A and B are shown apart, each in its own frame.
Chain A
């Protein structure tokens, strides 16, 4: 390999690359703004939406209960609910969001309470609709409190203490540090996003430098120069690799910044009031980047090889778009609950990097796995580059008509 020739090709490809507006979008703008938009934007939006839903006084309809005046009166007293008159099409009203929920009081409910018979009070709501769930939850809370009062009254009537019903209490205590909890929550998502961005960063230049060159008619021009095919492939490959790395670096920086901003704005408060502290220190950010290196290398070589088979930019896009799914599947698999890093999974490209990123972000460093993943991905990347080099030597591919 002639490094000087590789450098000449790289410099020329770099000049053309930075002059292309599409590059700016895929390599710089997407990774820089995707994270803040997704993390800060969505979190802020979610907080606003949930807050808005919580502030609303849900409209509730009572079904039946004419013979249970005390319960009805108690429900009507609640300020957190707005009771609307009964309508026969109450199901449609819930579906159409005219009311949020309905409560069905069984016939003879209060009489059954007196006789000690157990009845079921049904709450109807629209699952998946947050405002409807809030309405149903408020109703359920009221009914549970009401039930507790009934139980207490019954126990008091029999001169029994309340502890009869709960001889002991159970409490779950978390021993994981907050950053580990947050790491487990966001780690796989971060790994997934970095992987996807490494690929999207490499995709455009990989097409432009292969199928794009064929389409523009410059392939024959460069092949008539004295540069060897190997040096040409290497020069092109390093540019695609640089683009992929640039995207990875920018996405990691953007990710760190996004979480720093989120930490300050307390948008990530859990329901228990505990802030999800995501400790994205220099070590974890650097480690994620180092693990993304061989994967970027692999993506660059594979995408270049596949795109070279195409005669035009459009054809290359039609080959590479389905490949995105091949990459997304293992990346998404790592986000599934219970999927943990094992020696076998450490050999599956993409999935292994995604899993190890999850562990790194939660502060766990299994060095054996890290070395195995890094080495195996390097081997795959080397094989992919060799394939790219061989493909560049095939006349049937270069001059496909």
Chain B
């Protein structure tokens, strides 16, 4: 389970000013459900997910992941999390198997368990044909499968996906969305950020709309449709974000 409590993250910009990338965000993700964080570019999705994965530390607030505080016990949090984004690249000079083994060992798996896990994952993801091929020689689809295997090797109860399909072709993106569904079916807690409406509609059990670092609204798709009297998610998004966007634009003019 993930519980974010008043998460905030501020950065200094180049002119010494302050950027509120995440501003007092609170939400809860339950096991066996997919929480979709929907927002435009720069809305604060990546920063929120990086805080949950303990890659960044919050300026204020905290989050609890699988009973561990992200500020107090970051290493324990990471041991329970699988983090996948388009920014999480692979080591080019390692083979697919060596890479997955490396992350398995870092997660504390012993050699016997590691071998069993790798055989199982590689068979499930149909990776045996390229297990000994170096990552820099893999196709995009093979790389994505290797990344999935990396996040799965320690069988974490929480999966965090930061725009995992960004820039991928349809077939590779489909591999990812299928994998996300499988995670839910295995009772994992899944949080997933995107700006693609169709992905959210297809995958998410709970949707949170984030804009300018603030979580503006959240609920199931049905609840959002009822709350905003719109069927189409894009229209709902515009209704939620539009007025704030217009206000911000007026201020800049």
Binding site for B on A (CB under 8 A): 5, 8-9, 12, 15-16, 19-20, 216-218, 220-221, 223-228, 395-396, 399
Contact = CB atoms under 8 A, between A and B. Distances in A.
Interface of B: 11-12, 50, 53, 55-57, 75-76, 78-79, 81, 83, 85, 87-94, 98, 102-103, 105-108, 150
A221 B94 CA distance: 14
A223 B89 CA distance: 12
A224 B92 contact: no
Given A223-B55, A225-B106, A395-B57, A216 B92 contact: yes
A8 B101 CA distance: 10
A224 B103 CA distance: 10
A226 B65 CA distance: 13
A256 to B, nearest CB: 33
B55 A19 contact: no
Contact of A218 (B75, B91, B108): B91
Contacts of A221: 88-91, 150
B149 to A, nearest CB: 13
14 contacts: A5-B106, A8-B106, A12-B94, A12-B98, A15-B94, A16-B91, A217-B88, A221-B88, A221-B91, A224-B88, A226-B108, A395-B56, A395-B57, A396-B11
Given A221-B91, A224-B53, 15 more contacts: A5-B106, A8-B106, A16-B91, A16-B94, A216-B91, A217-B87, A218-B89, A220-B50, A221-B89, A223-B55, A225-B103, A226-B78, A226-B79, A228-B75, A395-B57
Contacts of A8: 102, 105-106
Nearest to B83: A224
A220 B55 contact: yes
Given A5-B106, A225-B78, A399 B56 contact: yes
Contacts of A12: 91, 94, 98, 102
Nearest to B88: A221
Contact of B55 (A20, A216, A224, A226): A224
Nearest to A212: B92
A224 B88 CA distance: 9
A220 B88 contact: yes
Contacts of A395: 56-57
Contacts of B105: 8
Contacts of B89: 216-218, 220-221
Nearest to A218: B89
B51 to A, nearest CB: 11
A208 to B, nearest CB: 10
Nearest to B102: A12
Contacts of A225: 78, 103, 106-107
A395 B78 CA distance: 17
B73 to A, nearest CB: 10
Contact of B93 (A15, A223, A227, A228): A15
Nearest to B106: A225
Contacts of A223: 55
Contacts of B50: 220
A20 B94 CA distance: 11
Contacts of B75: 226-228
Contacts of A220: 50, 55, 85, 87-89
B233 to A, nearest CB: 29
A68 B4 CA distance: 108
Contacts of A217: 87-89
Contacts of A16: 91, 93-94
Q: Top 5 nearest A-B pairs by Cβ distance? A: A217-B89, A224-B83, A226-B79, A226-B78, A221-B88
B78 A224 contact: yes
A20 B136 CA distance: 12
A16 B92 CA distance: 8
A20 B56 contact: no
Contacts of B79: 226
A238 B150 CA distance: 25
A221 B50 CA distance: 11
Contacts of A15: 93-94, 98
Residue among A19, A220, A221, A399 with most chain B CB within 10 A: A221
A395 B12 CA distance: 11
Nearest to B95: A15
Contacts of B78: 224-226
Contacts of B98: 12, 15
B93 A20 contact: yes
Contacts of B53: 224
Contacts of B85: 220
A171 to B, nearest CB: 65
A224 B93 contact: no
